Amino acid sequence: MTIQQPTDLTPAAMLGLGVHRPERVVTNDEICEVLDSSDEWIQTRSGIRTRRFAGEGETLIGMSVTAAEKALAAAGVDAGQVGCVIVATSTHPEHTPASAPQVATALGINAAAFDISAGCAGFCHALNLAASMVRSGAESHVLVIGVEQLSRFMDPTDRGTAFIFADGAGAVVVGPSETAGIGPTAWGSDGSQAHVITQTPSCMGVREHTDADHPVVQMEGTAVFRWAPFAMAKVAHEALDLAGVSVDDLDAFIPHQANLRITQTLAKNIQLPDSVAVATDVVDSGNTSAASVPLAMEAMLRNDEAAVGDTALLIAFGAGLSYAGQVVTLPPLG
């Protein structure tokens, strides 16, 4: 399937994909050792059976480096060819320095590097930025990483979040291609709903109250469920229209892995044909926020639910509230 873009721009595509999944698998039964819940309740509400938490020695930067190394190898691109590194994350524990320069140095990349924070939509935001750099000729290759360690920013007794969030990293190399492999992005935000997904207490709250709790992520799950499957259906069709692709042209639908019920409702609202494979990595990996889309891409390729070169629709949404989506060609897997 040919993805449309202005003819005077350099076509951009994802040239390689790599991921890092922490070794520690956490079951619902383990979550319920602290949380007042049950495996049946969690699966009914979210579809999640297991998730992965970073181990004692696993850092956000280390997870990013591992995923990036695999993506670079899959793309056949070396560190010297990368002109920019973009890390999408909400869980780098320091406001400064950003994680991206440290990731770049660990990879032997001497280039521009910065973090972006767009919640669970971060990877798709970063992918748009990277594709724009390549299309314009500003950079030939850009490394995009989505990474989170949400297990370190959760209240294990919170029935709204404790069973949902998890850890992981996914990376892609974006570079020039003979044909466009990343369509124009449909994206936006709605700050009037900023209260729906938050960090509590704020950093100022911690400073003002030395006995304040460790900051944790909080979410109004019902509000997200009422918004995402319906608002994102419109965004999906906008992304398809921008790329000149119909739902019948799609091979795969890879949304942010927020909740299996949201994914199923969204797929229905988009009116996807039965021939389109739908990513359900949330069942085994939980909600990994900015890492969820690349992790879900990897799972589909690894499990032969989709193939390299297939046409896929990506949609992501989260804190902000922010959202983004684009039609892409699936890349080789490292």
The catalytic site residues sit at 120, 256, 287
Query: What secondary structure letter does DSSP report for 184?
Result: P
- The number of beta carbons lying within 10 Å of the beta carbon of residue 104 is 24
Other C-beta atoms closer than 10 Å to the C-beta of 10 total: 16
Amino acid at position 224, single letter: V
Cα→Cα distances 266→44, 46, 92, 234, 316, Å:
17, 14, 30, 10, 12
The whole-angstrom separation of Cα 121 and Cα 89 is 10
CA distance linking residue 233 with residue 270, whole number of Å: 5
